[in-house]
Amino acid sequence: MAVSEVGGTNFDKFAQENSAAVVDVWAPWCGPCRMVSPIVDRLSEKYVGKVAFAKMNSDDNGEKAGALGIMSIPTLLFYKQGKLVDRIVGAYPEEVIDEHIRRLL
């Protein structure tokens, strides 16, 4: 699977171990999250070997989501060299998300 599952225990390690990473923060009840999820899956295939992708369920990882300042979902977090460099809040088209990923590279 091209997209990892992360949570409070392995989130930081995931962000730090990958030179470029995208984390999709979502919840099962969130309609816009269900729109973004397949986009993240497609982009993970497009950028295999270049960008690491993960998903974090905010319901299961509320403490970590709070520590990251997540106020609304879906939120996409963009990491470069272990540092948070960008974020998108809300459901955006694939082209917009893809542009944010290209800025990581």
Tell me which residues are annotated as active site.
Answer: 30, 33
Which structure tokens are listed for 38? 């397949």
Nearest to 51 by CA among 76, 25, 26: 76
List phi, psi (to 5°) of 52: -90, 140
Chain mean position to CA 65: 12
Peptide bond preceding 74 in cis form (omega within 30 of 0): yes
